[in-house]
Amino acid sequence: MDRLEVVKVILFLDMKNNIGIIPLACAEIFKRMEISLEEDPDRVQYTVTVSMLEIYNESVQDLFIKPKKRPKGGLKIRETKRDGIYVENLTSIPVESYYDIDEQIKFGTTNRTIAHTDMNSTSSRAHTVTTITFKQTFYENGKPTNKTSSNINLVDLAGSERQKDTHADASRLKEGSNINKSLSFLGKVISILADKASGKKSSKNTVVPYRESKLTRILQNALGGNSKTAMIAAISPADDNYEESISTLIYANQVKSIKNKAKKNESSQDKMIRELREENERLKGMMEKKQVMRREVKKENRENEEVMSKVRIMNVSDDPILTGQIHHAFKDGVNTIGKAKKGKKPDIMINGLGMVNEHNKTSFNEHTKELVLHPNGDNFKKNKTYLNGDLLTEDTPLKHGDQIVFGNNTLYVVLFPGEETNPQMFDYETVMNKILKKQMEDLKDNEHEKEMKKKLNEMKEDMDENKRNAEKDLKRKQKEMEDARK
């Protein structure tokens, strides 16, 4: 088995583990680099950096920077002859392995903008672009002779939204509107590029409107520049999403018509040497930024380890990437759980659909590790909480692995430190289906009760009517008998 066959086998095993397209692409880059370096380690050197951004409400945000530290208005998009389209002051982190990239992507994912809608409890509210910059420097007799570079843009588009399905309002409605607008402009750009590629006369002098949206501006090089581009369409088999699925397939089919001829980015020796010196300075600066970021990550990890060492609840999402991003530890005594309200902040804030300010309370004994969940005292049927699929109606002790749905669809799992976990604890779909089945059974029981009451009322009315008729007949016969006697 040669090296290429080994790589194919490894990739096949990775795909069976369902680790995702972006991790597979990153792993493939370093596997090919290792093969090349094994063949001739003195001929070529590689430099790989990674950056991550999101386009939220038409504002470009650096996902390697915490939201509180980001500049107001977002980052600016620039264009030069040398670099093409790029985002100014976007953090680029040098990486040395797939695990470095995986670590950075996980860090950026924690800073993504997500929110609750009626269609998705952890809906992505922005387009995410992960850029891997890959540079090769070739050497002869120990001296650099040539250099090539490329940017690999891995784009995760936010799904289009219909207000009638998501019931979005206020900021959620604005976010959904901006998502739909940017996707509409992207579709317009793709349509014009497809028409140009097919040679339509009407599109010959048409200007491609890249500048109408931040998304199309950033993807200008990928769509119509010196690049190779592929689109992967994620569609749903559900009947409710039929129109969206058809629309997405039509959208993706247009991309097939776009034809770009990619050329290798090469530079002369003198230019390359000057750029290498500048790049060394940039790399030093990036390494300093990386050290600062690592210190922040270590500090955050220490805080997370402190939370992990306590009895806590952890979020479970229908998107596996977002599962485990939120942890809430219980303090000794009474803990209030609910939605943040002006002037009132519960101990554990969960801002999901169907949540109120004081949705639940828990009693926790730090010494005995006893944890009890109390239903909403005002109206547990209206302000619902489900424990392991059943509606919570009375004080109930909690144990490791218990699944709690707060409000409509916000799922958390109870975790005790030192206890083993299993995949069933984090199965969002099974829990929600169980609750839905229970609700349907309750609905049927209510309908049956109503029908029985209706039948009883009808029988009572019939009996009353028969009684009235019998009384009338008795009176009539009595009168007839009295008349006959006379």
User: Residue 485's pLDDT is what?
Assistant: 83
Helix, strand, coil % (nearest 5) of the chain?
45, 20, 35
The residue ranking higher by pLDDT, 445 or 144, is: 144
The residue ranking higher by pLDDT, 267 or 428, is: 428
| Least confident segment among 31-45, 166-180, 194-208, 279-293 | 166-180
Q: What is the mean pLDDT of residues 12-19?
A: 50
Q: What is the mean pLDDT of residues 167-189?
A: 73
- Digit-coded pLDDT (tens) for 418-448: 899 888 888 888 888 888 887 777 666 666 5
Ranges in the chain annotated CATH 3.40.850.10: 42-301
User: Residue 416's pLDDT is what?
Assistant: 93
Indicate whether 335 pLDDT > 90: yes
User: Residue 2's pLDDT is what?
Assistant: 37
Q: Which of 261, 169, 153, 161 is nearest to 215 (CA)?
A: 153
Q: What's the pLDDT band for 14 if we cut at 50, 70, 90?
A: very low
78's CB contacts (< 8 A; 6+ apart) are 85, 86, 87, 88
Indicate whether 116 pLDDT > 50: no
User: Residue 4's pLDDT is what?
Assistant: 35
Q: What's the pLDDT band for 3 if we cut at 50, 70, 90?
A: very low
Q: Which of 172, 114, 109, 137 is nearest to 37 (CA)?
A: 137
User: Residue 16's pLDDT is what?
Assistant: 45
312-426 classified as CATH 2.40.50.220: no
- Digit-coded pLDDT (tens) for 185-241: 888 888 888 888 777 877 778 888 898 889 889 888 878 777 777 778 878 888 888
Please give the CATH architecture assigned to the domain spanning 42-301.
3-Layer(aba) Sandwich (3.40)
Indicate whether 118 pLDDT > 70: no
User: Residue 97's pLDDT is what?
Assistant: 84
User: Residue 265's pLDDT is what?
Assistant: 61
Indicate whether 5 pLDDT > 60: no
Q: What's the pLDDT band for 404 if we cut at 50, 70, 90?
A: very high
152 backbone φψ class: left, alpha, beta (φ>0; ψ -120 to 50): beta
Q: What is the mean pLDDT of residues 254-278?
A: 70
Q: Hey, what are 203's tokens?
A: 């599109």
Ranges in the chain annotated CATH 2.60.200.20: 312-426
Q: What's the pLDDT band for 370 if we cut at 50, 70, 90?
A: very high
Amino acid at residue number 20: G
User: Residue 398's pLDDT is what?
Assistant: 94
User: Residue 9's pLDDT is what?
Assistant: 37
CA distances from 123 to 152, 260, 398, 403, 439 (A): 25, 33, 28, 21, 24
User: Residue 274's pLDDT is what?
Assistant: 65
**Angle, helix 242-255 to helix 170-198, in steps of 10 degrees:** 40
User: Residue 10's pLDDT is what?
Assistant: 40
Query: Rounded to an integer, what distance in angstroms lies between the CA atom of residue 414 and that of residue 314?
Result: 7
Q: Mapping DSSP to helix (H, G, I), strand (E, B) and coil, where does residue 367 land?
A: coil
- Digit-coded pLDDT (tens) for 344-364: 889 999 988 888 888 989 999
Indicate whether 392 pLDDT > 80: yes
User: Residue 18's pLDDT is what?
Assistant: 63
